[in-house]
Chain A
């Protein structure tokens, strides 16, 4: 196996692990997969260039992740009274940029996420972009961008990361 294949294998494993954490709504374990400067971004427009000068559905850094994971299990968060179950399928995973010296890479993939919430099944789909970097014990997520195919449509409450 050449180094490119090895990196792809590691990246795939990380993406699958992340999807599994979200399927189980285990936000503390999910956060462990992110670097200290990690961010999670879900734009509200196709090809959106920037999370600060344009509105987004989500743009969390570690601080917001810390608040969100506390909110998620708060007994008085009424929107979280209903359990949320999710099932992610990720495919077409490919490394689109690589910096061998820094040990970082950009990974694109396509996803479908079936979500069950408030007695309703919903289907989300689109494209992921992950920027991964080498941490002390393997790859970590430094940036995740979630481009929903219907990012600019009217959406219902989305109480968990996709």
Chain B
């Protein structure tokens, strides 16, 4: 089968089955970088990372293309290609910093924070050559589109991509909930970042997020270890520790996860939870609750805190935990490698204990040294290896198929449904083949 033809690609994904090559074939990976990562809105960063004019933050838009998010002199946050307009050197190589202007390390071309070319050293060499330094083609190129939603900055390489709000659709409610959980209605990046090297295809990480059928198996060991230790303590002693709220729900029953439900949207976005999730049993910090009631009143506070999702995926680059206030940012590297970053957020107007809990969660669950993330990654690595086998060409995603409910702008199903997988592969086909999202 020639996979690079359209009909070849269309045979790789059926309603309930995937061909193993979507995870293992380097040619498919390159096509995904072009068609999915080159067309979708990709999460770049948060406006709070560049609070002052001249502040910048660099990242890649896919496995390769370098971009810089910068706040210009007028206070506008832009996303520019991180490529000198002269001979193409990467202009900024630090992860973040502040500049008055971007000066290239090679021949000294200098650009404003809005991307405009300000200066070419020894410019007279161009006189009368037909090269006009005033021509905008010599400015830093902006990406095709960039936009932000409640401070979350996205960019796309596709001029024809729908606007960000349309693309987010009903899944935007999770950004709203994350920000509304701040008494001041805003969040900011805080407490540093974890970067986790994953020896697996990027889709395996995303597909695990709302795979509620794995924790009982994959995370049994950490739940057992925690419960075994707790059993040696006097009754109630564990109540003093936030870890005791965070770890045991990973061992929740299938019924519990079923109740939480899965909701899928266009473009591959989805979340699990809503009314309940593995986070809904957490106690609420009383100082925080008071600050919330002061800001929003009792009823609205209740409403905000009871919208309890587990993971929301903004396909393909971002997943957020509204109830925890951390996010994970995905960047593919190769067909069998990606990097997952964990960032934490401070709820503006909340007591410091809230950020500390977010960081505790990130450390306990998402760190390379945690007892949760490494067991997830172990499963992805084994899939990456197992799928080399020709024993079968197919991976299935039938669970609860035909029992999901179409609500128009969203499809809902039980929490252990493969609806999350089917939602992602509908988007995969949309980007790869131009089908309806």
Interchain nearest-CB distance for A46 vs B (Å)? 11
Interchain nearest-CB distance for B384 vs A (Å)? 12
Known: A58-B367, A63-B229. A74 touches B221 (CB 8 A): yes
**Which of A54, A70, A153, A154 contacts B191 (CB under 8 A)?**
A54
In the assembled complex, the Cα of A44 lies from the Cα of B194 at a distance in Å of 7
Cβ of B225 within 8 Å of any chain A Cβ, yes or no, is: yes
* Contacting pair A156 B367 (CB below 8 A): no
Cβ of A76 within 8 Å of any chain B Cβ, yes or no, is: yes
Q: Which residues of B contact A64 (CB under 8 A)?
A: 243
Interchain nearest-CB distance for B342 vs A (Å)? 7
* Contacting pair A74 B225 (CB below 8 A): yes
In the assembled complex, the Cα of A80 lies from the Cα of B241 at a distance in Å of 26
Cβ of A59 within 8 Å of any chain B Cβ, yes or no, is: yes
**Which of A42, A66, A159 contacts B374 (CB under 8 A)?**
A159
* Contacting pair B378 A154 (CB below 8 A): no
Q: For the complex, count residues of B whose C-beta is within 8 A of A.
A: 43
Binary A-proximity of B356-368 (CB < 8 A = 1, otherwise 0)? 1001001100011
Q: Which residues of A contact B344 (CB under 8 A)?
A: 55
Contacting A at CB under 8 A, from B369-397, are 369, 371, 373-375, 377-379, 381-382
* Contacting pair A54 B192 (CB below 8 A): yes
* Contacting pair A52 B222 (CB below 8 A): no
Binary B-proximity of A63-93 (CB < 8 A = 1, otherwise 0)? 1101110110011111111000000000000
* Contacting pair A78 B362 (CB below 8 A): no
* Contacting pair A68 B225 (CB below 8 A): yes
Q: Which residues of B contact A52 (CB under 8 A)?
A: 356, 359
Known: A44-B192, A71-B225, A157-B368. A77 touches B362 (CB 8 A): no
In the assembled complex, the Cα of A71 lies from the Cα of B339 at a distance in Å of 25
Interchain nearest-CB distance for A128 vs B (Å)? 16
Known: A70-B225, A74-B221, A77-B221. A157 touches B194 (CB 8 A): no
* Contacting pair A155 B359 (CB below 8 A): no
Cβ of A56 within 8 Å of any chain B Cβ, yes or no, is: yes
Q: Which residues of B contact A32 (CB under 8 A)?
A: none
Interchain nearest-CB distance for B97 vs A (Å)? 15
* Contacting pair B368 A55 (CB below 8 A): no
Q: Which residues of B contact A56 (CB under 8 A)?
A: 363, 367
Instruction: Name the CB-closest residue of A to B352.
Output: A53
Q: Which residues of B contact A77 (CB under 8 A)?
A: 221-222, 371, 375
Known: A78-B218, A79-B378. A59 touches B195 (CB 8 A): no
Contacting B at CB under 8 A, from A88-136, are 118
In this complex, which of A56, A57, A154, A157 has the most chain B Cβ atoms within 10 angstroms of its Cβ? A157
Cβ of A45 within 8 Å of any chain B Cβ, yes or no, is: yes
* Contacting pair A57 B367 (CB below 8 A): yes
Cβ of A158 within 8 Å of any chain B Cβ, yes or no, is: yes
In the assembled complex, the Cα of A67 lies from the Cα of B356 at a distance in Å of 20
Cβ of B226 within 8 Å of any chain A Cβ, yes or no, is: yes
Cβ of B165 within 8 Å of any chain A Cβ, yes or no, is: no
Cβ of A152 within 8 Å of any chain B Cβ, yes or no, is: yes
Q: Which residues of B contact A79 (CB under 8 A)?
A: 374-375, 377-378
Cβ of B197 within 8 Å of any chain A Cβ, yes or no, is: yes
Is chain B's interface secondary structure helix, strand, loop, or mixed overall?
A: helix
Q: Which residues of A contact B241 (CB under 8 A)?
A: 63
Q: For the complex, count residues of A whose C-beta is within 8 A of B.
A: 36
**Which of B191, B194, B339 contacts A53 (CB under 8 A)?**
B191
In the assembled complex, the Cα of A55 lies from the Cα of B221 at a distance in Å of 24
Contacting A at CB under 8 A, from B144-192, are 190-192
Known: A68-B225, A157-B373. A55 touches B342 (CB 8 A): yes
Instruction: Name the CB-closest residue of B to A153.
Output: B195
Known: A70-B229, A159-B374. A55 touches B199 (CB 8 A): no
* Contacting pair B194 A71 (CB below 8 A): no
* Contacting pair A71 B221 (CB below 8 A): yes
**Which of A44, A80, A156 contacts B197 (CB under 8 A)?**
A156
Q: Which residues of B contact A71 (CB under 8 A)?
A: 221-222, 224-225, 371
Q: Which residues of B contact A155 (CB under 8 A)?
A: 195-197, 368
Cβ of B433 within 8 Å of any chain A Cβ, yes or no, is: no
Cβ of B355 within 8 Å of any chain A Cβ, yes or no, is: yes
Q: Which residues of A contact B199 (CB under 8 A)?
A: 156
Q: Which residues of B contact A80 (CB under 8 A)?
A: 221
Binary A-proximity of B187-226 (CB < 8 A = 1, otherwise 0)? 0001111111101000000000000000001101110111
* Contacting pair B369 A154 (CB below 8 A): no
Interchain nearest-CB distance for A77 vs B (Å)? 4
* Contacting pair A76 B229 (CB below 8 A): no
Interchain nearest-CB distance for A145 vs B (Å)? 14
Cβ of B127 within 8 Å of any chain A Cβ, yes or no, is: no
Interchain nearest-CB distance for B54 vs A (Å)? 23
Besides the known contacts A77-B371, A157-B368, A158-B368, 10 further A-B residue pairs in the complex with CB atoms under 8 A apart: A53-B356, A55-B191, A55-B192, A55-B194, A55-B342, A64-B243, A71-B225, A76-B221, A157-B373, A158-B369
16 A-B pairs within 8 Å (CB atoms) are namely A44-B193, A48-B192, A52-B359, A55-B363, A64-B243, A67-B243, A74-B220, A74-B221, A75-B221, A76-B217, A78-B379, A79-B375, A118-B381, A154-B339, A155-B368, A158-B374
